[in-house]
Every structure is written in structure tokens, then in C-alpha cells.
């Protein structure tokens, strides 16, 4: 809506409209969303599309080129094969320069939808020492951190080749999605009245129905782990990686519910959450957070050979998180090729990042646009403790794209390594990528042989009463200056 049209609308005398519609408009005005208590349906739709840049967001279609490859966490897809009726198996780790790139639209959609999507929720159990029963407006970086960790757990338990068998059954609605149940219901009925579309609905697919489709034990095991991973991120105090638990760890660093969390702070909170998890299935995985853009190889290996293992003597898997800045006030486009290279790796678990005022989970790219999942959709609380809880709201039906130039420079990059040998390979490969991308400049981050203590980066061990050391608290204070201003 142009400035002239907005001014004309302000001067237009109030028009008669349906009482229920007027009531809804007035309710929205109290929330600070609308300015026109008496507007027609077309005015409302046009107006709220203008407000998609904040807490109130709008789902829109995302367009992909058929002439360029799409990369999603190490897998390549090219949509032109769909027209040629060629169904080639997607393979991991292909490079941008490969001439034959596998996949089609449906395979890409299935792969993308299979990633775990964690968004704002409302009406969940109250967060301790606060009045919050929703994280709408402040929890998006915690949610993108959860998505990154969830992808790491998928690689750990299910592997990169896994996809959810029911992914393509998730309804891909083009209707608007709002951060209030009232507004969502109003929007659905409003859209239906305008275009004849059916209202939004969420078909439930139970575990019994899902496992009944697959006769082999491997598929049943995969579905059990799929549900288990999602349940670990449930919005309740008992969920090991749920919002309530992450906020508790954040308190040790001076954070509380309702505060802004930056991607570097979230990296350390995720590390503590994994270290403190007592679930038997989680004893074989840990998290390492790089210090001042440096990964100390011996420190990583020490964490992988920690004596607190599952008892079989195997190395622990590790998720390496590297908080970085891709420039000063704005993202430096010189880093674009490196970011694309990272998202082309099969062991990449994504990037916690976003743009100013919003945090996104970046999982892929096409050309110079990043593909991401957006946590800024407020959905109703789902009790993951009940048997056969619905899965659909934990899977995003449609990807979104954003120009790399719009990316906020502050972000955290994640990698998964199954064992020490895997880590050594990963560090070698990424070091080569960094040396190529940095040219004559300093690399974005480095892998260094030895321990951090060998370079005077000593830290005091955290006690049970104080989960973060004094050095870690100092880092949190420094990171706080780099945080997003989230809506």
C-alpha cells in the first residue's frame, strides 16, 4: 500500500461492516496491529500484508529457479528433471560445480518438510518465575537453536538420508498464519469467503497409522526416534531441550524469560543442555562451542573421549558450534561463497542466524538466496507426552528464501561429527574451505592443534551450583552486545 493510498484511507469516512468483523478489527487495534477500526475485507488484507515484517507474519509462496541447483544441508536438487520425467536418486555432498545434480521437486519438498520445525507456541505451562505461557515476540533465537540441535540429533539417530514417510501429506496452505488463535480463525474464514478455499486444518497422523504403512522393523525404529526427538523439544519443564529447560540454563548467565537471546549465547545454552541431559539415548553425544572463532582440536577430542560414555568405549559424537560475525554492521558479501560451501556439506546441521529483528534457521540456498525455516509462527501448545501426539505442526510445509545481503552478520554455524575420525576429516575439509574463501584476509574461524589452555584461554570448571564458569559469564556479557533486537 503506497503512502498516498494510506493517506486516502485515513481520510475516508468509516464504512459499515459486519459487527463480528468490526469486533475483530478493534481487537487487533488493541494489540497495535491495525489502525483502522472500520475497514472492509480488502482493506484489511492489504493492510496486514504490509505488516508481515514483524511479529505478525504472512506465509507467502517461495519461487525457485529451474535453472539453478538447490542445496539443502548437503543434498543437491535440480528441478528441471521433473519436466523430463527423470527420477534420479539424490546424493549427499555434491558440489555446486557438478554437472549432473539429482532430485526433483517432490524429493526436495519431502527432504525439506522432514526437517524438524520449532516455532513460537502459546498456552504452554507457565515458565517458572515468570508469567509467560508463550514465547511469542522474544523466543525466536531459542527456537532456531532448537532446530539446529534437532537436525544434529536426526543425523545422529537417523542419518542424513532419512525422510519422514508422511512429509508430503502435510498440508501446504497459502492462507495467512497469525500469532493469535482468534486472528488465525478469523483469517481462515475470511480467506474462505474471498476465494472459496477451505479452512485451515491439521490432519492427525498417529504412530499406529504411520508404522502400519511400513512392514520392516527399520522404518518402525526410525519413526520411534522421530517422535522421540520431537518430544525432547516439547514445551514443558520436563523436556530435556524444551524452552523451559533452555531458559533455566540461560538464568545461569543472567538471562531470563522475555529477554533477547543472541546466536552465540544460544550456542552455549545448547551446550549446557546437552551436557546436563540424563536420557540414556543422549549419553553418546556432546556439544563443543568454539572460543573466539577458534576450534581447539584437542579440546574437541577430549569431549569425544569423555569417560561418561554409554559404557561401550566408543567415541562420543560431537556437534561443533562456531559463533561468528560475517562482517561489521552489515554482512560482507565476500563470505557468501563460504556460507554456501558450508551448507553444501552433508555434516552441516545449519546456521542460527537471521536478519535484523528476526532469527531464522538457515538450511540451504539457491544462487545468492538462503533457504530457511521461520520460527515466527505462533502455534498452539502440543502435549508431546501423550501417545501418538500430532506431528504436523513440527514440520514446515513450505521453504522460504532470503537474499544473503539481508542476513545479519551475527550467526552460529553447526557441524556434526560421529566420532574422532569423522572430526579429523571435517576439520581438514573445512580448513581447506576457509583458506580458499579467506584469500589474503583472516579466515572466518580456525582449527588449531592443542588445547585452549595452551594459548592462555584457561577456564574454571563449573560446579554443580554454578553451571557456567566466570569466564563463560564474561563471554555472555560480551556476546550480549551482538544480539539481535528481536520482535
Q: What is the pLDDT of residue 473?
A: 55
Q: What is the pLDDT of residue 2?
A: 52
Residue 308 has pLDDT above 70, yes or no: no
Specify the higher pLDDT residue, 409 or 186.
Answer: 409
| Residue 376 known to be catalytic | yes
Lowest-confidence segment of 76-90, 320-334, 354-368 by average pLDDT: 76-90
Residue 144 has pLDDT above 80, yes or no: yes
The Cα 399–Cα 374 span in angstroms is 9
Residue 85 has pLDDT above 90, yes or no: no
Phi, psi of 180 (to 5 degrees): -155, 135
Per 3-state DSSP, what percentage of the chain is helix, strand, and coil (rounded to 5)?
Answer: 40, 15, 45
Residue 472 has pLDDT above 80, yes or no: no
DSSP per-residue codes, 389-434: ---GGGB-SS-EEEEGGGS-SEEEEEEEESSHHHHHHHHHHHHHHH
* Confidence (pTM): 0.75
Find the catalytic residue in 166, 299, 374, 408.
374
Mean of the per-residue pLDDT values of the chain = 76
Q: Per DSSP, what are the bridge partners of residue 379?
A: 121
Specify the higher pLDDT residue, 276 or 437.
Answer: 276
The Cα 133–Cα 445 span in angstroms is 38
Specify the higher pLDDT residue, 96 or 228.
Answer: 228
How large is the average pLDDT for residues 283-302? 96
Find the catalytic residue in 78, 156, 244, 376.
376
Q: What is the pLDDT of residue 79?
A: 81
Lowest-confidence segment of 144-158, 203-217, 275-289, 300-314 by average pLDDT: 203-217
Residue 104 has pLDDT above 70, yes or no: yes
Give the closest residue to 12 by CA, choosing from 21, 4, 20, 2. 4
What is the enclosing helix (H) or strand (E) of 260?
Answer: none
Residue 429 has pLDDT above 90, yes or no: yes
Give the closest residue to 115 by CA, choosing from 326, 336, 329, 363. 363
The Cα 18–Cα 58 span in angstroms is 24
Residue 94 has pLDDT above 60, yes or no: no
Residue 461 has pLDDT above 90, yes or no: no
Specify the higher pLDDT residue, 312 or 25.
Answer: 312
The Cα 187–Cα 121 span in angstroms is 18
Lowest-confidence segment of 19-23, 251-255, 408-412 by average pLDDT: 19-23
Find the catalytic residue in 94, 136, 140, 411.
140
Q: Give the contacts of 228 (CB within 8 A, at least 6 positions apart).
A: 281
CA angle 366, 368, 369 (to 5 degrees): 60
The Cα 322–Cα 278 span in angstroms is 25
Tens digit of pLDDT for each residue in 53-65? Answer: 333 444 457 888 8
Q: What is the percent of the chain with per-residue pLDDT over 90, rounded to a whole number?
A: 56
Give the closest residue to 426 by CA, choosing from 312, 286, 317. 317
Contact 106, 113 (CB under 8 A): no
The Cα 209–Cα 166 span in angstroms is 10
How large is the average pLDDT for residues 206-231? 76
DSSP per-residue codes, 148-202: HHHHHHHHHHT-TT---TTGGGS----S---SSHHHHHHHHHHHHHHH-PPPP--
Give the confidence band of 470 by pLDDT, cuts at 50, 70, 90: low
| Residue 395 known to be catalytic | no
The β-bridge relationship of strands 446-448 and 294-296 is parallel
Give the confidence band of 174 by pLDDT, cuts at 50, 70, 90: very low
Contact 342, 413 (CB under 8 A): yes
Phi, psi of 289 (to 5 degrees): -110, 125
Q: What is the pLDDT of residue 442?
A: 78
Q: What is the pLDDT of residue 190?
A: 35
Give the confidence band of 402 by pLDDT, cuts at 50, 70, 90: very high
Specify the higher pLDDT residue, 338 or 461.
Answer: 338
Give the closest residue to 72 by CA, choosing from 112, 107, 99, 102. 112
Amino acid at each position: 500500500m503506497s503512502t498516498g493510498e494510506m493517506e486516502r484511507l485515513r481520510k475516508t469516512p468509516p464504512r459499515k461492516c459486519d459487527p463480528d468483523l468490526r469486533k475483530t478489527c478493534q481487537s487487533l487495534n488493541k494489540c497495535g496491529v491495525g489502525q483502522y477500526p472500520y475497514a472492509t475485507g480488502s482493506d484489511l488484507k492489504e493492510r496486514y500484508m504490509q505488516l508481515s515484517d514483524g511479529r505478525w507474519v504472512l506465509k507467502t509462496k517461495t519461487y525457485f529457479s529451474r535453472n539453478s541447483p538447490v542445496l539443502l544441508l548437503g543434498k543437491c536438487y535440480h528441478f528441471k528433471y521433473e519436466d523430463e520425467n527423470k527420477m534420479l536418486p539424490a546424493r549427499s555432498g555434491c558440489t555446486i560445480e557438478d554437472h549432473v545434480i539429482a532430485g526433483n521437486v517432490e524429493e526436495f519438498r519431502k527432504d525439506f518438510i522432514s526437517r524438524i520445525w520449532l516455532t513460537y507456541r502459546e498456552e504452554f505451562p507457565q515458565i517458572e518465575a515468570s508469567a509467560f505461557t508463550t514465547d511469542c515476540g522474544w523466543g525466536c533465537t531459542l527456537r532456531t537453536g532448537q532446530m539446529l540441535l534437532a537436525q544434529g540429533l536426526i543425523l545422529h539417530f537417523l542419518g542424513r538420508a532419512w525422510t519422514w514417510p508422511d512429509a508430503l501429506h502435510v498440508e501446504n496452505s497459502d492462507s495467512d498464519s497469525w500469532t493469535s488463535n482468534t486472528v488465525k480463525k478469523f483469517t481462515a474464514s475470511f480467506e474462505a469467503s474471498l476465494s472459496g478455499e477451505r479452512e485451515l486444518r491439521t490432519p492427525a497422523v498417529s504412530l499406529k497409522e504411520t508404522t502400519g504403512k511400513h512392514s520392516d522393523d527399520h522404518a518402525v525404529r526410525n519413526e520411534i526416534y522421530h517422535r522421540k526427538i520431537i518430544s525432547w523439544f516439547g514445551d514443558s519443564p520436563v523436556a530435556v531441550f524444551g524452552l523451559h529447560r533452555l531458559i533455566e540454563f540461560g538464568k545461569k548467565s543472567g538471562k531470563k524469560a522475555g529477554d533477547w537471546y543472541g546466536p552465540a549465547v544460544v550456542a552455549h545454552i545448547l551446550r549446557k543442555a546437552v551436557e546436563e541431559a540424563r536420557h540414556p539415548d543422549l549419553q553418546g553425544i556432546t556439544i563443543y562451542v568454539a572460543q573466539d572463532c577458534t576450534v581447539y582440536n584437542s579440546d574437541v577430542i577430549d569431549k569425544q573421549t569423555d569417560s561418561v560414555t554409554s559404557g561401550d568405549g566408543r567415541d562420543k559424537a560431537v556437534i561443533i558450534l562456531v559463533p561468528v560475525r560475517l562482517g561489521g554492521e552489515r554482512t560482507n558479501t565476500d563470505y557468501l561463497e563460504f556460507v554456501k560451501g558450508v551448507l553444501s556439506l552433508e555434516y552441516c546441521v545449519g546456521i542460527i542466524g537471521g536478519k535484523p529483528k528476526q532469527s531464522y534457521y538457515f538450511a540451504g540456498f539457491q544462487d545468492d538466496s538462503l533457504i530457511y525455516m521461520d520460527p515466527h509462527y505462533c502455534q498452539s501448545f502440543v502435549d508431546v507426552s501423550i501417545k501418538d501426539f500430532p506431528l504436523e505442526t513440527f514440520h514446515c510445509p513450505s521453504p522460504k528464501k532470503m537474499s544473503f545481503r539481508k542476513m545479519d552478520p551475527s550467526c552460529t554455524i553447526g557441524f556434526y561429527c560421529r566420532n574422532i575420525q569423522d572430526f579429523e576429516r571435517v576439520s581438514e575439509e573445512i580448513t581447506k574451505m576457509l583458506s580458499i574463501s579467506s584469500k589474503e584476509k583472516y579466515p572466518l574461524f580456525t582449527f588449531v592443534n592443542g588445547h585452549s589452555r595452551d594459548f592462555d584461554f584457561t577456564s574454571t570448571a563449573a560446579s554443580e551450583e554454578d553451571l557456567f564458569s566466570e569466564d563463560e559469564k564474561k563471554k555472555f556479557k560480551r556476546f550480549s552486545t551482538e544480539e539481535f533486537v528481536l520482535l
